[in-house]
Amino acid sequence: MDTLTNFINGTIALFGDPLGILIFLGGVIGGMLFGAIPGVSMLTLAAILLPFTAHLSPEHGIMLFSVIYCTGVYGGAITAILFNIPGAPENAPTAFDGYPMTQKGQAGKAVGAAVTCSAIGGTVSAVIMMIATAPIAGWAISAFGPPEIFALVFFGLAVASSVGAKTFWKGWLSILLGLLIAVVGLDPVGGIERWDFGMPYLLAGIHFIPTILGFFAVSEVFVQVEKKARGSYSAPKVSVDFPSLAELFAQKIAVIRSIVIGFFCGILPGIGATLAAFMGYNEAVRWSKDSKEFGTGKMEGVVSSETANNAATGAAMIPLLALGLPGGALTAMMVAVFQMHDMEPGPLVFLNSADLVWVVFSAMFFANLSILLIGFLETKTIINLLRIPFQFLAPLILLLATIGAYAVRGLPIDIVVMFIAGIVGFFLRRSGYSVAGIVLGLILGKIGEQTFAQAMQMLHFEWSGFFSRPIAITLIIAGMLTLLNSIYSSFFKKST
Amino acid sequence: MKLTKYMASGLLACSMMLVSNASFSACATDSLPDSLAGPDGFPERALTMIVPYGPAGGSGQVAQAMAQAVTELTGVNINRDHKPGGSGTVGMTAYMALPSDGYSVLEHIDDASSAHALDSSKPNPASDLIPLVISQITFSQIFIRTNEDRYTDWNSFVEWVIAQDGKATIANVSKEGSMERVTMKAISDATGMSIQQISFDKGAPRYGALAGGQVDALFEQPGDVRKFLDAGTFKPILTILPEAPSAFPDVPALSGTGLDFEPLYRFRGFYVHKDAPADRVEWLKWAFQKAYCQQSYQDYNESKYMHLIDSYRDTEGARELITATISQYREVYKEMGLDVK
C-alpha cells in the first residue's frame, strides 16, 4: 500500500507541475530522436544537457535523464529495423531479424513488435524497481561477482555460436574473430599494451560501435549496391501494418523470458542493456523449435531483444539509487546530476529525498508507457522513409554511419575501422559466417576477459574455485552442455 | 630490498601539507588580479579542453568544474572533448597533435607522470607541456565494510590478512606500475602481509565488489567514495598520509602504524602546449589559477575532500611535483624489476 501511495504521490508531483510535464515530454521525444540516429545517441543528448541540469531542480534533472534513458534505448530500434543501422549497441540484436522483416515487407510488424515489447519490458521493469529496489540491489552485488559474470558471458557465447552462421563451426570462428578483435589495446587488468602496432589510438581498443556500423550498415549498403549493379535489387515493400493482438500474444513466453533476462543483466553494475539484448536474443534462439529461422526475419528475434534491453533500464536504476553504483554510461551521468545538486545516489537518497525517488519512478513508468503511444504514431509515419530511392538512401546511410562512428570518441581511426568492418562484413556474409557472432564476441570478449582475470585473481588462480560458487559453476556447466550439444549436432546431424 | 627504502627517501620533495580549518579562509590565488586582458583580444573564441577520460568519472567531473569556474571568471566558453582510452594515452596523443595556438588545453592526472617514468618516450607533463595549474591533490585510504566483523580496524585487518596466507583480497586499479599497485607493494612489504589485488578499472564494479562482499577491502581516494562514507556503508581503516587529516582524526595514518614511506598522491591538473605563444600562456595561467579560487570550484573540491591537503600548485609548483613524482616512480619501478625505458 505504501508503494502505491508513493507512486500516486510521485505521479501527482510529476504531472501537477507544468514545467515537469514539459521536461517529461522533452525527454521522451528527445530520447527517441537521439536514440534513433546513429552517432547522436541518448548519451550525446545527455552530455549536451548535463550542464543545464544545474539550473533545474534535482527532481526535474534526474527525471529528465531517467526518461531519456527509457526512450533512448527504444529509439535505436527504428533504424535497426528499417536500415540495418542499430541506433545504439543494445539495438544490434534487433537488426538481426528486424531488418530481414523489413526486406520481406513486414517493417510495420517489426516496428510494432519493437514498440509494444519495449513498452512492456520497460514498464514491468519499472514496476519491479518500485517494489523491491533495496533488497534486489543487495542480493545482486552479493551473489554476482566477477566469477559469476564471467560464467554468464561464457554461457552467452556458447549459446551465441548458433546465431546467424550457416554452420556451427563458422559460428564459432565468427565469435573467435570477435574475441580476437576484443584483445586489441590495453589489457583490462595489467594495462599491458597489445596489438597496437605502434599506433597510440589503438591502445584504446577497437570500439564496438564503429564495428557494428561497419558490419551492419556499411556492408548492407555494399550488398544492395551489388544487387543494384547486377539488376537484382528490389526496394523493400512499405507496410505500416501493426502486428495483430494474436501475433503479439503468441510472443508471451519470449517476452516473459526476456524481461527476466533483461532485468537480471540490468541490475549488475557495469553490464547493462547491451548484454541484456544479446542474452535475450540468444536465449530466444536457444529455446525455439525453429531456431534456424532466426536471422531470416522472425518476429520473436525483435521481441526478445527489445523486451530485454528496455527491461534493463528500470533494473539499472536499482544499483544506482540503492547503492550509488551506476550500471552504464548514462546512469553514471545521472550520478553527476545528483552531485550538481549536492546529493549522492545511494542508501541515503531513500531517506533524504524520497519525493525525488518517487517522481523518478513515476516518470520512468510513464515514459515506458508513452513509448507505446508515440511508437505507434512513429510506425505510421517513419516507415515511409523506406520510400526514399536507394540512390539517395545509400549515401545518407553511409553519411550517418560515418558521423556515428566518429562521434563515439572523436577519433578518425574509428571511421577507418568502420569501413574495414564493412568490407570484411560484405565478404563474410556471403560465405556463411556470422557478423552478429563477431560483434557479440567483441562486446562480450571485453567483459569476459576482464571478469575472467578478476575471477582468477579472486580464486587464487585455482580453477576448482568455480565449484565453490554455485551460480558460476551452474552457468559454466550449462554453457559446456550447450557447446557439447552443438558439437554433437554438427557431426551427427546433416542439417548442421 | 624493500620498496619502502625508496619511498621513504624523501624524493617527493614537496611533501604534502595538511590544511587546518583556520587556514582555509584564504585561497591560494587571492593575490592574483581579478581580471586580466588577453593579448590582442585572446581568446577570440571558445577554448577546447581535451579530457582523456569519460565525463562521469573523477577526471571528467574536475574538468567540468574547472571549465565552469573559468567561464564564470572570464566569460570564455570551454568545450570539453572527451577522448578516453589507453589509460590517458589516447587523449594525450590527440592533444599533442592539435595546433599549439593556446586555444586548446589538456586535463590530465598523475598517470601521465607515471607513464613517462616507465617509458621516457611518452610526454613529460613538466617539460613537454606547460602546467597551468594542479587543482586536485589527494591521498588514498583503505576501506572495509562498516558491518564487517572479521576485522574492525587496521591492526586486526593486518592480523587477519596474514592469517589468510595470501588469500585475502583488495579491490583497486592495479594496472602495472599504477600508484595503487606501488603503494600496496610498499604496505605489504612493511607489514609482512600478502594480499591479492583485484583490478577493477571502473568505480562502480570496484565499490560494488566491496559492498557485496566479493573482496575484503578497497583501496581508494576518500572523495570518490564519500557517499558510502556518509551512508555508513564503508569506513576507512588506514589513511595513507604521514599524519591523520582533520576529517579522519581517528583513522590511523602511516606514522601511527609503523609504515615508514613517503606516500604517492593522486593529482589532477591542466596543461597547455609548451610551444603555445608565451603571452597567451600567461593569460591561461592566470585564468586557470584564479578559477581555482572561484566559489563553485572550491565547493566542488570540498565535496571531494580535496581541501584536506593543499590541493593547489601553480606552474612552478606543478613542475616540482611532477618531476619529483617521476623520479620517485622511476626508482620504485627499478626496484620492482619493471622495464624502465
pLDDT tens digits, B68-89: 999 999 999 998 888 887 778 8
Does residue B286 form part of some domain?
yes
Mean predicted lDDT score pLDDT of chain B: 88
Last residue of a domain, one of B232, B256, B280: B256
Nearest residue of A to residue B57 by CA position? A332
Distance from CA of A343 to the nearest CA of B (A): 9
How far apart are the C-alpha atoms of A385 and A375, rounded to whole Å? 15
- Mark whether B45 and B182 lie in a shared domain: no
**Quick one: B216 and B187 in the same domain?**
yes
Q: Is residue B157 part of a domain?
A: yes
Q: Are residues B182 and B286 in the same domain?
A: no
**Residue B24: is its pLDDT beyond 50?**
no
Q: Which residues of B touch A348 (CB under 8 A)?
A: 227, 230-231
- B46 belongs to a structural domain: yes
Q: A133-184, pLDDT tens digit by residue? A: 878 888 888 888 899 989 988 888 887 776 667 788 888 999 999 999 999 9
Which CATH number do you get for residue B206? 3.40.190.10
Residue B107 falls inside a structural domain: yes
| Cβ under 8 Å to B: A residues 475-494 | none
H helices of A297-353, where?
A: 299-323, 329-340, 347-352
Q: By CA distance, what is B231's nearest residue in A?
A: A348
Tell whether B89 lies on the interface with A, counting CB pairs under 8 A. yes
Residue B269's Cβ-count burial label (10 Å; 0-12, 13-18, 19+) is buried
Which range, of A323-327, A367-371, B143-147, averages the lowest pLDDT? A323-327
Per-residue pLDDT at B22: 42
Interface membership of B146 toward A (CB under 8 Å): no
Residue with the larger pLDDT of the pair A324 and B189: B189
Measure CB to CB from residue A204 to each of B90, B197, B228 and give the nearest one: B90
Nearest Cα neighbor of A258 from A203, A294, A301 is A301
Does pLDDT of B240 surpass 60?
A: yes
Whether residue B316 is found in the same domain as residue B292:
yes
Query: Same domain, yes or no, for B64 and B118?
Result: yes
Confirm or reject contact between B150 and chain A (CB < 8 A): no
B44 and B182 housed in the same domain: no
Residue B261 lies in a domain: no
Asked if B204 and A269 come within 8 Å (Cβ–Cβ), the reply is yes
The pLDDT of residue B274 is 94
Across A359-372, average pLDDT = 89
Exposed, middle or buried: residue A290 (CB in 10 Å: 0-12, 13-18, 19+)?
exposed
Specify if B262 maps to a domain: no
Which pLDDT band, with edges at 50, 70 and 90, does B16 fall under? low
> Of chain B residues 281-340, which have a CB less than 8 A from chain A?
303
Using DSSP, state whether B236 is helix, strand or coil: strand
Q: Which of B231, B256, B281 is the last residue of a domain?
A: B256
Q: Read off the CATH number of the domain in which B100 is found.
A: 3.40.190.150
Model pLDDT, residue A335: 78
Q: Does the beta carbon of A454 lie under 8 angstroms from any beta carbon of chain B?
A: yes
Considering B211, B236, B256, which residue would you say is the last residue of a domain? B256
Domain hosting B174: range is: 141-256
Evaluate whether residue B204 is within a structural domain: yes
Q: Is residue A496 pLDDT above 50, yes or no?
A: no
Tens digit of each residue's pLDDT (9 = 90 or more) over A220-272: 889 889 988 998 877 777 776 778 889 989 999 999 999 999 998 888 766 67
Computed over every residue of chain A, the mean pLDDT equals 85
State whether residue A471 sits within 8 Å of chain B by CB. no
Q: In what order do the strands lie in the sheet with B129-138?
A: B78-82, B47-51, B104-109, B266-273, B129-138
* Same domain for B146 and B134: no
Share of chain A above pLDDT 70, in %: 94
| B110 and B250 in a common domain | no
B128/B35 same-domain check: yes
